[in-house]
Structure 1
Amino acid sequence: MTKPPLTLTPDEMRRAGYAVIDRIVDHVATLKDQSPWGAGEIPAPNPFDAPPPQKGVAFDEVMARLDRDFFPHNLRVDHPLFYGFIPSPSNFIGVLADALASGFNIFGGTWIGGSASAEMERAAFNWVREAFGFPGAAFGLFTSGGSAANVIALAVARHAKLTGDMATARLYASSETHSSLERGARILGFKPEQYRKIAVDDDLKVDLAALKSAIEEDRRNGLQPIAIIANAGTTNTGAVDPLNEIAALCEREAIWMHVDGAYGAGAAFSARGRRALAGIERADSVSFDAHKWLFQPFEIGGVIVRDGKTLHEAFNVSASYLRDTKTLGRGVNFGEHGIQLTRSARALKFWMTFQIFGAEEIARAIETGFEMAEAAEAAVRKLPHWRVISPASMGILAFRAAPEGWSDEAADRLNAAIAARSRAEGRDMVVTTELKGRVALRICPINPRLSKSDIEGTIGRLDEAAQAAMSQLNADQPG
């Protein structure tokens, strides 16, 4: 009998599935032996640039192509020595949960589509609500990531606070705020001049005096301040804006307070993180990325809103073909609370990770990130020619080679050369940034599989790269 299209036998499915699991386990088990940079960029010509085959290719042959052309040419963002940008130190239970959610093809947009999925997501957000100190009326949902979560939060802020012409609205964020907020404002129709970037202080936190001055100026000009975006761990330095002071300002001025916690808010699942984020409980909305400091595989972010009804009001629309989703069942339709109607069961990996490992182990994993950044700072401070630009904060450290007698410009070239040498060696994934107008190195050592000896090894190799680069660039040194 002819098989239906796109069908495998149970034996074929098992064989393919076991091969995939074996491949993933081999990758995870040997991760420390690999370079966090992978094998570099994929070589030209593009091996995937071909018409689709008219007849199917054997699974083993496809896997062999992936082993050759696909898997090697991607960064290992879950490698312990991947310090660049924001790592994603995944966990294997989350990987399996993703496979289960995809295998059962669960629809997470409506109650009748997945009542168990909806109730699991609600339960997971009770954990989030408690971690952030939000009231019982709060409501949230999982998203593809912080970018989508921030768009949702700004849309709710606009719905709740805008009373006149949208052209008069103003949003405020520090110059260190993540670019996704500016992009999100643009997506929502705000013009560039409506998104005001406020200067930061010496600690790279928003300058409160400058923020208050900007709000006063805009009110005098007949404009309407509707939202302040506060940072719970900036990408550059892990800076946490003064959340309690911003909350007081927002309460006084009737302005929405959104906390961009895409990087740092997940730390609230640990005691140390909650202390660092004091005041987050006063926000109107918070975004977070579980695929960062909550150790999930891509993609899973989230947003929670203090007044859940406002979130629903901002996104709920009606359509005749969705009539039954509103009249059948007793639960919530998550598709009425955000951008996506069709959405996966992202809560499953979050829930399963907490079930298997427990909240205590997750908190311990989070606190390792604080400790590793502090260990890196201590190692840097022991070395000549180096200085800390931004002390360890929320698991991030920024530092710079600055030999005595070298000009700032020469030191900029030196730090770029150090990063290039480190990249060529391939042991550590360290990138540069620009802070206070100067080139610096920046690391984010939040992988819970890191050790203090790993950190000290990385700093030692960077110092070796600095010594070699200093010799090469010595002509730039005055005198």
Structure 2
Amino acid sequence: MDAMQENLGLVAEETLDPPDWADVQALSHRVIDDAVDYLRDVRDRPVWREMPADVREAFAAPLPRSPAPLAAVYGEVSRTVMSYPMGNTHPRFWSWYMGSSNFTGALGDFLAAIQGSNLGGGNHAAGLMDSQVVNWCKQMLGFPASAGGTLVSGGSMANIIGLTVARNVKAGIDVREHGVAAIEKPLRFYGSEQIHSCHRKAMEALGLGNRALRRIPTDSGLRIDIAALRAAITEDRAAGFKPACVIGTAGTVNTGAIDDLQALAKLAHEEGLWFHVDGCIGAL
């Protein structure tokens, strides 16, 4: 605090800046070096290993009451977290069909966090880049220039947003204005027994209830059974439900099975259903 601040009775300005930028720079180089080693040498490590009791106990430690040096925090994270991963970055991880990690993506996350731009609006480069990536995705998928899209936090959120669109389009009312209670007939969504659990959670979050999602048996290749799906749609219409959406999966999380998307698209068109594709694993 300088003399003028002291004379005016002002408190010292608080900041989240590190006390020594040189120390932060040195630690950053160390973190990057460790990260490169971590990904480069992944094949030399076990896919997974049991966490010792003393390491597990570290996660039950009480709330710290004082700050710690950043280097010490990183050392603790390296010892207790980075050494015991789930294993999905390893090429021999076969528990589920899951995404991995890559250094390029990690650097992108780092730079995004450094800039910290809010994409809710404003005239800035990050917003333009967001739109550019969406436009590139449209080109890769063969979508028309008039198509829209958005980047979200991950696959589960992408499916929830997509199914929200399906609900709003097929509800027969303005759901945003009147709410789901005003929907005349209960909506039905259809997906195979192999679909990801986020679709069930989406039904709950959208106010439709878990029972709005009807799970259809699969064939010998663990793909949705088209004949069984068609029969279920007919049955639900007769029972007073409104078939609204069929969910096709481009790569299930359990086995990587891909539904017959062309057949599903044809069926959805014939039955007047919204066609949603969960492409988190195999869309591209």
Q: Give the equivalent residue in structure 1 for 2:127.
A: 118
CA contact (8 A) 1:78 1:87 kept: no
Look up the SS of the partner of 1:149 in the other structure: helix
| Equivalent residue runs for 1:14-53 within 5 Å | 14-37=25-48, 39-41=49-51, 43=53, 46-53=57-64
Selected match of 1:5 from 15, 22, 26? 15
Q: What is the letter of the counterpart of residue 255 of structure 1? A: L
Deviation track 1:11-46 (CA, whole Å, cap 9, x = no partner) reads 132122122212212212322211121x32352552
Aligned to 1:393: none
- For residues 67-466 of structure 1, the aligned pairs below 5 Å read 67-110=78-121, 112=122, 115-163=124-172, 165=183, 168-265=186-283, 268=284
CA deviation after TM superposition for structure 1 residue 67, in Å:
2.8
State the 1:162 CA deviation.
0.9
Secondary structure of the structure 2 residue equivalent to 1:227: strand
Distance 1:18 1:53 in 2: 27
1:57: Cα distance to partner?
2.0
Structure 1 position 202, deviation (Å): 1.9
How far is 1:245 from its partner?
A: 1.8
Amino acid at match of 2:110: A
Highest RCO, 1 vs 2 (Cα 8 Å, sep ≥ 6)? 1
CA–CA distance in structure 1, aligned partners of residues 184 and 102 of structure 2: 43
1:399 match: none
What's the TM-score once normalised by structure 2's chain length?
Answer: 0.85
CA distance in 2, matches of 1:261, 1:155: 16
Q: Secondary structure at the match of 2:231?
A: helix
CA deviation map 1:341-394 (0-9, x unaligned): xxxxxxxxxxxxxxxxxxxxxxxxxxxxxxxxxxxxxxxxxxxxxxxxxxxxxx
Cα separation, partners in 2 of 1:28 and 1:240, compared to 1, 3 Å = closer
Change (3 A) 1:16 1:213: same
Cα distance in 2 for residues equivalent to 1:263 and 1:70: 26
* Structure 1 residue matching 2:116: 3-state secondary structure: coil
Q: d(CA) in 1 for partners of 2:158 and 2:185?
A: 23
The alpha carbon displacement at 1:166 in A equals 6.1
Whether the aligned pair in 1 keeps the contact of 2:98 and 2:253 (CA below 8 Å) is: no
Report if the CA contact (8 A) 1:174-1:206 is conserved: yes
Match of 2:4 in 1: none
SS in structure 1 of the partner of residue 57 of structure 2: coil
**Deviating more after overlay: 162-171 vs 124-133:** 162-171
Gap runs ≥5 in structure 2:
2-11, 174-182
CA apart distance, 1:243? 1.5
1:218–1:105 distance in 2 versus 1, CA, 3 Å: same
Aligned residues with identical type, % of pairs: 34
Mapping of residues 54-69 of structure 1, within 5 Å: 54-69=65-80
**Contact 1:167/1:190, CA 8 A, preserved across alignment:** no
Using the size of structure 1 for normalisation, the TM-score is: 0.52
Higher fraction of strand:
1
Conservation of the 8 A alpha-carbon contact between 1:233 and 1:261? yes
Q: Is the 8 A contact 1:40 1:74 kept in 2?
A: no
CA offset digits 1:403-438 (Å, max 9, x no partner): xxxxxxxxxxxxxxxxxxxxxxxxxxxxxxxxxxxx
How far apart in 2 are the matches of 1:103 and 1:71?
Answer: 22
| Contact 1:198/1:207, CA 8 A, preserved across alignment | yes
3-state SS of the aligned residue for 1:225?
Answer: strand
Give, as a single letter, the amino acid of the residue that structure 1 aligns with 2:84.
H
Alpha-carbon shift at residue 173 of structure 1 (Å):
0.8
Distance 1:194 1:53, change over 3 A: closer
1:285 alignment counterpart: none
d(CA) in 2 for partners of 1:55 and 1:191? 45
Alignment partners' CA distance in 2, 1:137 and 1:240: 28
Contact kept, 8 Å, 2:188 with 2:245, in 1: the verdict is: yes
Deviation at residue 167 of structure 1 after TM alignment? 5.5
58 and 46 in structure 1: CA distance in 2 versus 1, 3 angstrom threshold:
same
The alpha-carbon distance between structure 1 residues 167 and 13, as it changes in their structure 2 partners (threshold 3 A), is farther
CA distance in structure 1 between the aligned counterparts of 2:263 and 2:74, rounded to whole angstroms: 55
Tell me how far 1:232 sits from its aligned partner. 1.1
* C-alpha contact (below 8 Å) 1:205/1:242 kept by paired residues: yes
CA distance in 1, matches of 2:139, 2:246: 23
Contact 2:236 2:243 in 1 (8 A): yes
Q: Distance in 2 between matches of 1:154 and 1:179?
A: 13
Q: Does the C-alpha gap of structure 1 residues 64 and 193 become closer, same or farther in structure 2, counting only changes over 3 Å? A: closer
Paired letter, 1:78: T
CA distance in 2, matches of 1:153, 1:230: 12
Q: Write the distance in 1 (CA, Å) between the matches of 2:200 and 2:91.
A: 31
Q: CA RMSD in A?
A: 2.1
Distance 1:156 1:31 in 2: 40
What do the CA deviations read for 1:63-112 (whole angstroms, capped 9, x no partner)?
332232222122232222223213433221211111111111121222x0
